[in-house]
């Protein structure tokens, strides 16, 4: 255990809007009182965005296919190639219907993600983005997490930058932060051994930043990881953000985290099933630590909604968003 003075000094650094170290964050995560931690996190938020205004956008998650070959242990979504009962690839007509429903509810963006389909060619993705952009120019397209970009790169033989450049030219405006889970390969090798590794996830995001695409960072907790694994994830994000802001003048514009849900998944059927997941208090603690530690993921307060729109278009400081049904 650390002395009370060490905790107090670290909290004082937060209130003074000074960056805390990995070791200080670990100390707060493990030992700080939850209420004190929440108050410190709110102080950090007030330094970034003073006042009580919280903004959000309305978007819709659209899954264009659930056919996937990564076999993640926490997924109840995917179907293997050849599964004609559960597997699907949405037609343009079905995608259009979902987009029109979202627009009717005030959505300004779609967040389109899917499985790692081994038989969809590179041109499929470019054509899909171009079709959506030309058919529904009023909707912003954020699509294809870094793990999907890596998959598209592999099947096409094109570099990450070539893939992202072609998609951007077709109308892509941003990359969602999906597939991040825990950015520590010790955990990734256990729960998603076939999926993208940490260095590649971050590397693809750096290319997206270079190309001026909007990106978000995500995190999922509750994989029986240690606090050090969680802090490793946050440290890699903060380092990447520092680098991207210095090189390209932009980086992640929001951070979103949640707890793993294991119902009807391989994790839910494992002998460790009772050890997966996280409590509400644990999630609050994690959110507070993330807000304090990720001091370089800025969210500017908009002066008001765009002309002709009822809704602000930017996510809140915490990355919380309100969505139309999937």
**Would you list the DSSP string of 199-232?**
HHHHHHHHHHHHTT-EEEEEEEE-SS--HHHHHH
Task: Provide the pLDDT for residue 2.
Answer: 53
Closest Cα to residue 61, out of 112, 136, 116? 112
E strand residue ranges, 1-157? 58-63, 109-113, 140-143
Task: Provide the pLDDT for residue 13.
Answer: 95
The total number of structural domains in the chain stands at 1
Residue 38 lies in a domain: no
Work out the percent of the chain whose per-residue pLDDT is above 70: 90
Q: What is the pTM assigned to this prediction?
A: 0.89
Query: Side by side, which strands form the sheet with 109-113?
Result: 252-259, 214-221, 174-175, 140-143, 109-113, 58-63, 322-324
- Contact present, 251 and 241 (Cβ < 8 Å): yes
Residue 115 lies in a domain: yes
Residue 10 lies in a domain: no
For 181-195, write each residue's pLDDT tens digit.
999 999 999 999 999
Closest Cα to residue 192, out of 70, 69, 315, 104? 70
Residue for token pair 């494992």: 270
Residue 251 lies in a domain: yes
Q: What is the dihedral of CA 3, 7, 10, 15, to 10 degrees?
A: -140
Residue 42 lies in a domain: no
Q: Which domain holds residue 242?
A: 52-324
Residue 27 lies in a domain: no
Hey, is 267 helix, strand or coil?
helix
pLDDT below 50 — which residues of the chain?
Answer: 300-326
Residue for token pair 């077709």: 170
User: What CATH number is given to the structural domain containing 278?
Assistant: 3.20.20.70
Phi–psi pair at 89, nearest 5 degrees:
-130, 120
Whole-angstrom distance, CA of residue 321 vs CA of residue 111: 12
Residue 7 lies in a domain: no
Whole-angstrom distance, CA of residue 298 vs CA of residue 159: 29
Hey, is 244 helix, strand or coil?
helix
Residue 43 lies in a domain: no
């Amino acid at each position: 255990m650390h002395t009370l003075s060490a905790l107090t000094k670290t909290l004082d650094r937060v209130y003074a809007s000074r960056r805390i170290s990995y070791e200080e964050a670990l100390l707060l995560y493990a030992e700080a009182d939850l209420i004190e931690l929440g108050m410190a996190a709110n102080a950090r938020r007030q330094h970034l965005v003073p006042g009580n205004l919280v903004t959000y956008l309305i978007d819709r998650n659209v899954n264009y296919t659930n056919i996937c070959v990564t076999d993640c242990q926490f997924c109840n979504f995917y179907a293997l190639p050849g599964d004609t009962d559960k597997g699907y690839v949405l037609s343009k007509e079905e995608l259009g219907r979902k987009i029109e429903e979202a627009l009717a509810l005030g959505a300004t963006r779609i967040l389109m993600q899917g499985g790692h389909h081994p038989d969809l060619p590179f041109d499929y993705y470019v054509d899909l983005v171009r079709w959506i952009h030309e058919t529904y120019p009023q909707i912003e397209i954020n699509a294809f997490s870094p793990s999907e970009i890596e998959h598209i790169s592999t099947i096409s033989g094109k570099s990450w930058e070539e893939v992202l450049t072609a998609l951007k030219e077709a109308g892509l405006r941003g990359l969602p932060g999906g597939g991040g889970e825990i950015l520590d390969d010790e955990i990734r090798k256990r729960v998603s051994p076939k999926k993208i590794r940490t260095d590649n996830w971050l590397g693809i995001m750096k290319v997206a930043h270079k190309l001026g695409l909007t990106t978000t960072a995500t995190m999922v907790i509750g994989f029986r990881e240690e606090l050090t694994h969680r802090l490793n994830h946050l440290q890699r994000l903060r380092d990447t953000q520092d680098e991207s802001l210095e090189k390209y003048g932009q980086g992640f514009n929001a951070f979103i985290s949640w707890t793993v849900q294991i119902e009807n998944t391989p994790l839910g059927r494992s002998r460790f099933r009772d050890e997966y997941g996280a409590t509400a208090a644990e999630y609050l603690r994690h959110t507070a630590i993330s807000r304090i530690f990720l001091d370089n993921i800025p969210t500017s307060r908009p002066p008001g909604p765009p002309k002709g729109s009822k809704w602000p278009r930017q996510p809140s400081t915490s990355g919380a968003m309100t969505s139309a049904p999937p």
